[in-house]
Structure 1
């Protein structure tokens, strides 16, 4: 019940902030563990204009998605049980105001600890907040990242 209240509170704050005129900079990453393939699947959503400004490339150019993938690869890292994981990018798409990037880490039989470093857009936007929601074997965890807190670790 406590987790439900915490998550509800986070969404309420985000909802209220969406009505404010002030700029709000955020990214959202969803992490799911697929037991059958022993894979962590990541889906990251970012604002098209914000990431375009950060990497200095027009989102309507042919190389935009490839540059976004490189950018995320340099700004997002994962360690499972203390072992750094290689991230494989499986796709991306620009959908109007949002950029979606898909990547995964394979050969993960179990997770005791999951450490993530997420500096997406932190250098470009001082108020940037990155949220990562993790689903692992029925457990849900949420991490937040901002300047001064670029790394986070959870235990399962």
Structure 2
């Protein structure tokens, strides 16, 4: 997990507003043996984290997940081994969106905490610690500041 908007050992990690767009170029070399997370953004606080995630599946499909629930994609989209794809996670106001190669793949409204948008506290690129149900093991601002990013074996480029 790459910490964002947190302070560890009196060092402030990257400060972002409530709106963001995270774009990466990825090349997947081969199908994973099981569904694998590719990009992940965690928002909220320790009591009620919210996350959005893009995964690639063993049957060459993309999967979006919002708050721990797989959502049907708005476009029928597959990934090709060896082909470069542009992937993006985006939060604008209270709308979370996932794009592949410029096409909207999925979106969901993010509930606000009162009148305040949830604060971003971490990004993950490639492998993260996820349980089988899609929830990561208690993501929180405190935990994200202790973790080191980990590359995914089957992903060639993640820029």
On whether the aligned pair clears a TM of 0.5, the verdict is no
Q: Which has the larger radius of gyration?
A: 1
| TM-score normalised to structure 1 length | 0.30
| TM-score normalised to structure 2 length | 0.30
Higher relative CO (CA 8 A, sep ≥ 6), structure 1 or 2? 2
